[in-house]
Amino acid sequence: MKVYLDGKLVDKKDAKISVFDHGFLYGDGVFEGIRSYDSLVFKLKEHINRLFESAHSIMLRVPLSKKEMIQAVIKTLKANGLKDGYIRLVISRGVGDLGLDPRKCKQASVVIIADRIDLYPKELYDKGIEIVTVPTIRNLCEALNPQIKSLNYLNNILAKIEAINAGCQEALMLDHLGYVAECTGDNIFVVKKGELYTPPQCMGTLRGITRDAILDIAKKNKIPTHEHVLTRHELFISDECFLTGTAAEIVPVVKVDGRVIGDAKPGKTTKAIMKEFKKITKTSGVKYTL
């Protein structure tokens, strides 16, 4: 495997950062997870835009332009001979000292890893998964805004641990007022009477690239859609429920906190959206050749 590290492609064993890098010491940095389908990087420009927005919000100067970043992603995929893969793009604050002061970090570091990923077994896409609400709440926007995809993912990791301890694959996270926010790595949607609902961004919800793609699919297929505050009760009584994310794609949910959703199997609307999503992964993005 070849890893892009600050302008060079190096072997996996040589892809090393300093222990004084503030991304390692403090989680001071940002990242994106991106998918490639049959030599097309899905929504690459949208991912790069969001990466730069996250960096701008934490006052992190990106050492590459957007165009150069896109070229670096393609270069890494080609170097690994990947037509279908998962790309993890990381920008850390860079090497500093043991203090918090970001001014001590003179140069940000860029890492791009291209590999394969299988987040869930295929059977879970066919049969659906069970999720559970966990005690760990989503970060407050006034503390660490979930719109920023930062390297500090402990909030999500703690919730994931609680889900695993409860015997579930994924956790439902609420905001500080008890409303539905999102899952540890995915946005959440419900279907009720043929209409689609998902929490608004102000509820501590990441504006997911896949989430936006689903909203576009719904609009084109004339499915009424609402970005609406949701309670757990509204999840319990929904007809269908599914999760969306770059790595997970679209995952049907058939049980929430022990309550069966609909008829306990992926619903008609969910399956239709999954089918339409597969279509756009072949057309929406940046094409490359090996």
For residue 123, the tally of other CB atoms under 10 A from its CB is 9
DSSP for residue 261: P
Instruction: Give residue 42's Cα distance to chain centre.
Output: 13
**Which tokens belong to 92?**
């850390």
One of 106, 149, 219, 282 is an active-site residue; which one? 149
Q: Which residue has the tokens 């239709």?
A: 272
CA 31/CA 149 separation, integer angstroms: 6
- Indicate if 149 belongs to the active site: yes
Using alpha carbons, select from 35, 114, 40 the residue that is nearest to residue 77. 114
CA 5/CA 35 separation, integer angstroms: 19
Looking at 84-168, list the stretches that DSSP marks H as alpha helix, in order from N- to C-terminal side: 122-127, 154-165
Catalytic residues: 149
